[in-house]
């Protein structure tokens, strides 16, 4: 065997475990899921084995279902609102903590506590804090005079989403701050120094130095944020169970309900696959952006 | 530096995508490998017992979600274990949510206990999914089936009427009144009709102290449907006639309670425990309460600092309540089917059913068990439930009950939140429910 062939074999040897892992843990369920979504497996056909391929029927049914369209809308509203809020505030906090002031470190550490908390705990906290009569949020808002009567946060289908977004941002802001801070520290101070010598003011320095140099970390933060937010499940599941009236139902919770509550396995798979496709497109988009940059 | 940072992020992005894929796949019945793994240890430790057929003793695992009743169940198992030396029963507590998920996963993977407990309205779905064995022949030979009440027994049947398990206990709903508040408002006896009920709600509501006349659970799950069913049936309507005037009326009536401030809007997020807590805290003068809650008062789990009284739920046209309760079924693929059936028969003899229901504070499912003790007639609280049982209706049995139930509680929530009129809300439910019932009707059992 030639040395080159040996080297090539060695290379395959190195990637084999990873490849097998991906194939087993990701490939198999994904393929199973795709097959399931093109069949009509539900409570009637599951055990009897009479399920058959029905083509795109599940998808057509889903996209004609007003609840699913609402769920799709909810997912995007939730994701985009969360991204906008947590990115802006996270960036501001990152800039703030990049300044050197007393207690900057400890305070930044405290902000991170929200991110370290398990989502289930955060969701339980959120549920209590947004309570109508006993909730601390309403109490605070009334005390500072912003509202006269308690807001029916999780009770009303028009405000429940706001509450869920607020709780998610509480976790998302420190996450954004953390990643953006590491991006900020990567920028050499020399660049800023020479810019200020040339007479650039603070805004110019931010827009012409910080932002361009942060481009790759900003992109990464937005992409990661999108993915984490888009596949939200635990927050809604615990805080609102998707209610009231599906107003906080997102793709993750909806697919779960279809499969595990209503035993509409095929439709649940189809909904899960829609979720996957959305994330896949975002992932491709990110890959293209980053590879372009490398060229 | 920048390059490396990007690489790290690329890797974590790949990881996040992977997580996304898994989360997506988690939604499909057959591929929930991660959640299956969570419970794998308990599953294998429990079911491995049944395969140990060495020696004379056969191990049988029982999974249940009883909490304060667990000890009473353990006692039944212990008595059974010591009564013979061929079969050994081991009871394992699995949280309700987890157990239900495990049945669905187990239908694919085969990881099931030998005997499983299930909430009665869910049984038909699991039978259809192949979770429970057909044990009809063995139970017919037993010759005691005619002693069981028809409603609970029907919930163990498949669409052909074959039994896959036995009901274990029953409960139903009644009206629990805080007589201190009622008396202070000049009301001496609990209301019996909707009109009286409405008046009492009005008299006892105290907006200044956020005390409501009534509390119930209208949450978006089976509990919400459970608590709504009596209001539906009281108008003469039922699940098959959701497009009737009565069905719309029942929603409008409950919606009116909310819109006039006699019932908190928060009921749409309240489980039955939450509604009871509001009542216990003096924030509601009346509450829709279940049989099992009496045991919680007696054990001190829920403290009631008031004079209270149970009464039948108020009626519109007819008295109505709803049957709840748990069944035990023999799971598919067990290697000890006969032994499982033997234990079920033992657990459900008249004497054992009576003993167990008395200890656990539940209603028996056998008429001859109820006759054995005066527990259900001597205690006036249980007596009310015993009477309510006469007009209590079963949910289903129907394999698609979860879908029917979702349509019902969604309609209820829309009406309570004032988003739709009773007629409009019910029209949407009908669009879901009627096609299902046309395909497979609910087996008529009375």
Is residue B29 over pLDDT 50?
no
Nearest CA distance, B169 vs chain A (angstrom): 24
B24 and A216: CB-CB below 8 Å? no
How far is the C-alpha of B165 from the C-alpha of B162, rounded, in Å? 9
Assess contact for B169 and B360: CB atoms under 8 A. Answer: yes
Assess contact for A132 and A150: CB atoms under 8 A. Answer: yes
Q: Are residues B215 and B330 in the same domain?
A: no
How far is the C-alpha of B28 from the C-alpha of B299, rounded, in Å? 41
Nearest to B125 among A26, A43, A228 (CB): A43
Which residues, including other chains, have CB under 8 Å from residue A284's CB and lie 6 or more apart? none
Tens digits of residue pLDDT in B80-135: 999 998 999 999 999 988 898 899 888 888 889 999 999 999 999 999 999 999 99
B1 and A186: CB-CB below 8 Å? yes
Which residues between 208 and 237 in chain A have a beta carbon less than 8 angstroms from any beta carbon of chain B?
216-217, 220, 223-224, 227-228, 230-231, 233
Q: Are residues B417 and B279 in the same domain?
A: yes
Is residue B353 over pLDDT 70?
yes
Q: Are residues B296 and B363 in the same domain?
A: no
Q: Where are the alpha helices (DSSP H) in A130-264?
A: 136-143, 160-185, 189-197, 202-205, 211-213, 215-230, 234-239, 251-256
Q: Are residues B408 and B278 in the same domain?
A: yes
Is residue B200 over pLDDT 60?
yes
Nearest to B28 among A46, A230, A272 (CB): A272
**pLDDT < 70 regions, chain A:** 1, 293-295
At residue B441, the pLDDT reads: 86
Which residues between 248 and 277 in chain A have a beta carbon less than 8 angstroms from any beta carbon of chain B?
252, 255-256, 258-265, 268-269, 271-273, 275-276
How far is the C-alpha of B344 from the C-alpha of B357, rounded, in Å? 15
In a mutational test of the A interface, the residue from B10, B11, B13, B23 whose CB has the highest number of chain A CBs within 10 Å is: B23
Task: Say if B204 falls within a structural domain.
Answer: yes
Q: Are residues B117 and B44 in the same domain?
A: yes
Is residue B313 classed as helix, strand or coil in its secondary structure?
A: coil
Residue B396 — very low, low, confident or very high, per pLDDT cuts 50/70/90? Answer: confident
Is B435 part of the contact surface with chain A (CB cutoff 8 Å)?
Answer: no
Is A26 part of the contact surface with chain B (CB cutoff 8 Å)?
Answer: yes
B107 and A47: CB-CB below 8 Å? yes
Residue of higher predicted confidence among B246 and B16: B246
In degrees and rounded to multiples of 5, residue B329 shows phi and psi of -125, 160
Which residues between 168 and 227 in chain B have a beta carbon less than 8 angstroms from any beta carbon of chain A?
210, 219-221
B269 and A244: CB-CB below 8 Å? yes
Is residue B175 over pLDDT 60?
yes
Taking only Cα atoms into account, the Rg of chain B, rounded to an integer number of angstroms, comes to: 24
Tokens of B400: 């698609």
Assess contact for A134 and A250: CB atoms under 8 A. Answer: no
Is residue B11 over pLDDT 80?
no
Residues of chain A contacting B104 with CB distance shorter than 8 Å:
259-260, 263
Tokens of B72: 């009473």
Q: Are residues B353 and B429 in the same domain?
A: no
Is B9 part of the contact surface with chain A (CB cutoff 8 Å)?
Answer: yes
Q: Are residues B196 and B278 in the same domain?
A: yes
Q: Are residues B429 and B295 in the same domain?
A: yes
Q: Supply the CATH number for residue B380's domain.
A: 3.40.190.10
Is residue B42 over pLDDT 50?
no
At residue B7, the pLDDT reads: 54
In degrees and rounded to multiples of 5, residue B157 shows phi and psi of -100, 150
Q: Please report the DSSP string for B239-290 in residue order.
A: GGGTTSHHHHHHHHHHHHHHHTTSB-GGGGG--HHHHHHHHHTTSEEEEEEE
Residues of chain A contacting B410 with CB distance shorter than 8 Å:
245-246
The rounded Cα B72 to chain-centroid distance in angstroms is: 19
Is A186 part of the contact surface with chain B (CB cutoff 8 Å)?
Answer: yes
Query: Any idea of the CA torsion for B377, B355, B300, B289, to the nearest 10 degrees?
Result: -50
CATH 1.10.3720.10 maps onto chain A at: 38-190+216-294
Number of domains in chain B: 2
Residue B160 — very low, low, confident or very high, per pLDDT cuts 50/70/90? Answer: confident
Tokens of B272: 């039955």
Assess contact for B214 and B262: CB atoms under 8 A. Answer: yes
B408 → chain A, closest CA residue: A245
At residue A52, the pLDDT reads: 86
Domain of residue B305 covers 173-321+400-439
Whether domain A38-190+216-294 has CATH 2.102.10.10: the reply is no
Tally of CB atoms within 10 A around B4: 9
At residue B20, the pLDDT reads: 45
Assess contact for B216 and B343: CB atoms under 8 A. Answer: no
Assess contact for B227 and B286: CB atoms under 8 A. Answer: no
pTM of the model as a whole = 0.84
Is residue A244 classed as helix, strand or coil in its secondary structure?
A: coil
Angle between helices B350-360 and B337-347 (to 10 degrees): 70
Q: Are residues B125 and B219 in the same domain?
A: no
Nearest to A256 among B10, B27, B402 (CB): B27
Task: Say if B431 falls within a structural domain.
Answer: yes
Residues of chain A contacting B329 with CB distance shorter than 8 Å:
none
Is residue B16 over pLDDT 70?
no
* Mean pLDDT within B336-361: 92
At residue B43, the pLDDT reads: 39
Tens digits of residue pLDDT in A79-88: 999 999 999 9
Residue B44 — very low, low, confident or very high, per pLDDT cuts 50/70/90? Answer: very low
Q: Are residues B198 and B244 in the same domain?
A: yes
Nearest to A262 among B30, B403, B414 (CB): B403
B29 and A240: CB-CB below 8 Å? no
Q: Are residues B144 and B259 in the same domain?
A: no
Task: Say if B298 falls within a structural domain.
Answer: yes
A43 and B410: CB-CB below 8 Å? no
At residue B281, the pLDDT reads: 94
Query: Any idea of the CA torsion for A54, A59, A65, A67, to the nearest 10 degrees?
Result: 130
Residue in this structure with the two tokens 């033997």, named with its chain if needed: B342
Q: Are residues B100 and B230 in the same domain?
A: no
């Amino acid at each position: 065997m030639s040395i080159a062939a040996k080297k090539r074999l060695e290379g395959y040897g190195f990637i084999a475990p990873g490849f097998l892992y991906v194939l087993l843990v990701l490939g198999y369920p994904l393929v199973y899921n795709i097959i399931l979504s093109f069949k009509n497996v539900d409570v009637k056909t599951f055990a009897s084995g009479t399920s058959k391929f029905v083509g795109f029927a599940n998808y057509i049914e889903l996209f004609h279902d007003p609840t699913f369209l609402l769920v799709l809308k909810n997912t995007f509203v939730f994701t985009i609102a969360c991204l906008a809020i947590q990115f802006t505030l996270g960036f501001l906090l990152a800039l703030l903590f990049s300044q050197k002031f007393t207690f900057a470190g400890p305070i930044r550490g405290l902000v991170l506590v929200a991110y370290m908390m398990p989502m289930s705990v955060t969701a339980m906290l959120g549920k209590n804090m947004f309570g109508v009569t006993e909730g601390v949020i309403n109490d605070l808002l009334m005390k500072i005079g912003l509202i006269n009567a308690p807001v029916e946060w999780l009770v009303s289908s028009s405000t429940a989403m706001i509450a869920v977004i607020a709780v998610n941002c509480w976790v998302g802001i420190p996450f954004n701050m953390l990643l953006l801070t590491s991006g900020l520290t990567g920028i050499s101070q020399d660049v800023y120094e020479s810019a200020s010598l040339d007479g650039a003011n603070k805004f110019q320095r931010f827009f012409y130095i910080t932002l361009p140099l942060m481009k790759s970390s900003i992109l990464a933060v937005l992409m990661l944020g999108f993915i984490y937010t888009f596949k939200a499940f635990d927050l809604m599941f615990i805080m609102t169970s998707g209610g009231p009236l599906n107003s906080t139902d997102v793709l993750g919770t909806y697919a779960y309900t279809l499969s595990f509550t209503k035993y509409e396995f095929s439709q649940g798979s189809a909904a899960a696959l829609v979720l996957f496709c959305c994330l896949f497109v975002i992932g491709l988009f990110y890959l293209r952006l980053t590879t372009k940059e490398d060229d | 530096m920048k390059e490396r940072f990007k690489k790290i992020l690329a890797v974590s992005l790949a990881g996040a995508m992977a997580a996304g894929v898994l989360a997506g796949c988690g939604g499909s019945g057959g591929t929930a490998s991660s959640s299956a793994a969570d419970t794998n240890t308990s599953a294998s430790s429990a079911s491995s017992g049944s395969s140990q057929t060495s020696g004379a003793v056969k191990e049988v695992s029982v999974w249940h979600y009883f909490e304060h009743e667990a000890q009473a169940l353990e006692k039944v198992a212990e008595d059974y274990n010591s009564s013979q030396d061929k079969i050994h029963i081991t009871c394992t507590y699995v949280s309700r949510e987890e157990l239900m998920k495990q049945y669905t996963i187990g239908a694919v993977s085969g990881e099931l206990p030998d005997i499983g407990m299930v909430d009665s309205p869910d049984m038909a779905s699991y039978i259809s999914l192949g979770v429970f064995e057909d044990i009809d022949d063995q139970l017919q030979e037993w010759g005691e089936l005619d002693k069981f009440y028809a409603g609970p027994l029907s919930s163990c049947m498949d669409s052909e009427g074959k039994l896959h398990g036995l009901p274990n206990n029953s409960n139903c709903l009644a009206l629990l009144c805080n007589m201190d508040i009622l008396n202070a408002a000049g009301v001496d006896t609990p209301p019996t009709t909707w009109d009286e009920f409405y008046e009492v709600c009005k008299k006892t509501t105290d907006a200044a102290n956020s005390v409501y006349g009534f509390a119930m659970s209208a949450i978006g799950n089976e509990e919400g449907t459970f608590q709504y069913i009596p209001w539906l049936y009281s108008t003469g309507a039922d699940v098959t006639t959701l497009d009737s005037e009565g069905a719309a009326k029942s929603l409008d009536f409950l919606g009116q309670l909310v819109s006039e401030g006699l019932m908190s809007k928060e009921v749409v997020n309240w489980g039955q425990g939450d509604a009871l807590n509001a009542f216990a805290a003096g924030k509601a003068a009346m509450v829709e309460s279940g049989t099992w809650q009496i045991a919680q008062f007696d054990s001190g789990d829920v403290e009631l600092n008031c004079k209270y009284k149970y009464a039948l739920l108020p009626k519109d046209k007819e008295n109505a309540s709803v049957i709840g309760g748990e069944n035990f079924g023999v799971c598919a693929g067990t290697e000890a089917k006969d032994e499982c059936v033997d234990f079920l028969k033992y657990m459900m003899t008249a004497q054992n059913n009576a003993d167990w229901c008395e200890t656990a504070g539940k209603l028996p499912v056998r008429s001859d068990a109820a006759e054995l003790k005066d527990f259900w007639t001597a205690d006036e609280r249980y007596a009310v439930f015993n009477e309510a049982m006469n007009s209590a209706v079963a949910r289903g049995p129907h394999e698609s009950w979860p879908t029917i139930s979702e349509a019902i509680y969604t309609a209820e929530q829309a009406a309570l939140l004032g988003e739709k009129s009773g007629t409009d809300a019910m029209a949407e439910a009908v669009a879901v429910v009627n096609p299902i019932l046309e395909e497979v009707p609910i087996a008529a059992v009375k």
